Structure 1
């Protein structure tokens, strides 16, 4: 059973989510503040964390930043009561994999969590567990990315973007295509989520992120991995 951490200060919402996730065979860990969420995450090591943005004390963005620094492979979904783009973008910049705007349907949130978990699963049935491109190696069994034999810390979404790009060198992908491949066909949200994750990935893999060598921007289309 997968562990999920719910960091939400409103008890009614937290209890409602707990019931729904337990019905779907999740082990639920609860926290009502950012500090408690960080402490329980370090103790319990859940696969997924759901973080409310507006928390007492440390807000959800700061919790996200701490958890991403501590657990690169943890799936993180932000809950926000506001629909402004800035909240969504801030969450993604701090390392979140996804966001859901309140009020939301719990079934949609559960589907988002399950889709994220599927994308986090090691692909054990692949014959060759590594993909190479220039100085990069992607280990598809451990879902790790290496540059010049040094591991790069990537989030689950960033790993998927790297894998898709390296497996399809020189292919131009539109934002909508990347949304479908990485976030799933049922994703409801702004395509800016692709740009934010590309920017984060460039900061990790490029020698000069402002002048990228590997992930090219194709104006009017999207992005392409430059063949080495």
Structure 2
């Protein structure tokens, strides 16, 4: 993979030895890494305003590894402020405080996962992989996907449509699009979508998934009621066809918003 096709992980950690270990191992995993050593620097790096030796300034992270106890601004306050600003980048908290109430406090502040120190490095890496996978990252993932005159930028979450208009995509829309485009031409089951886009601990209804697909159709399809790209395969899941030529043997049906398939 080239530099532009690797996920960017922001580490906000003030303990130098631990930070060095995390940086080295994440880079070995194929990630780009940006490091900040206190809450103020972490906030700037999170917004893509600064770097500390890793990653491009213009990039925003795909995942934040955030120490709870930090100089200047603690990790909980930093996470709350970013969530209040509408940022939903996944956050993995690290903390020497590992009681149940500490974990609840971290998750309540907007964290997606919480790992108590000291921890086993393999467990940390597994959690990072899982969070990036739910974000839609994989070994075969690129930063941009083009089809039928449209282009989707996975870094900026913006679709440039064939007529030149730009449309922002939400997290679920981007996640489903990334999964379907990565497996273009295949039937992708609802279970696969749930595992990769929502994760093991979420239980969205079929209607929720259908509504996200409907939004993708409204964005990309010439006639959303007669889709040529985002097909419903009854009783199974969905199939994405970049080439609008009909695929024999696959029953395609429109969705009505709020309706199942």
Residues 148-175 of structure 1, C-alpha deviations (whole Å, 9 max, x = no match): xxxxxxxxx9955897331289xxxxxx
Cα offsets for 1:15-46 (capped at 9, x unmatched): 11101111111111001100100001101310
Q: Which residue of 1 aligns with 2:203?
A: 164
SS in structure 2 at match of 1:25: coil
Higher strand share: 1
Work out whether residues 134 and 198 of structure 2, in 8 Å CA contact, stay in contact via their aligned partners in 1: no
Mapped to 2, the partners of 1:108 and 1:96 lie a distance apart of 17
From 4, 20, 35, give the equivalent of 2:9.
Answer: 4
Please, which runs of 5 or more residues in structure 1 have no aligned partner? 123-137, 145-156, 170-228
Secondary structure of 1:6's counterpart equals strand
Distance 1:85 1:42, change over 3 A: same
Aligned to 1:75: 90
> Taking structure 1 as the reference length, what is the TM-score of the superposition?
0.56
Aligned pairs, number: 145
Q: Does 1:109 align with 2:124?
A: yes
Q: Which has the higher helix share?
A: 1
Distance 1:109 1:54 in 2: 18
Given the alignment, which residue of 52, 62, 76 partners 1:47?
Answer: 62
**1:131 alignment partner in structure 2:** none
Deviations 1:58-89 (A, max 9, x none): 11101111222345431100001022112111
Q: What SS does the corresponding residue of 1:58 show, helix, strand or coil?
A: coil
* Alignment-derived partner of residue 176 in structure 1: none
Structure 1 residue 142: Cα displacement: 2.8
1:50 alignment partner, SS class: strand
With structure 2 as the length reference, what TM-score do the two structures score?
A: 0.49
RMSD of aligned C-alpha atoms? 3.2
Equivalence map 1:104-183=2 (5 Å)? 104-121=119-136, 141-143=173-175, 164-167=203-206
Residue 158 to residue 61, structure 1, CA distance change in 2 (3 Å):
farther
Q: Distance in 1 between matches of 2:26 and 2:7?
A: 10
1:86 aligns with 2:101: yes
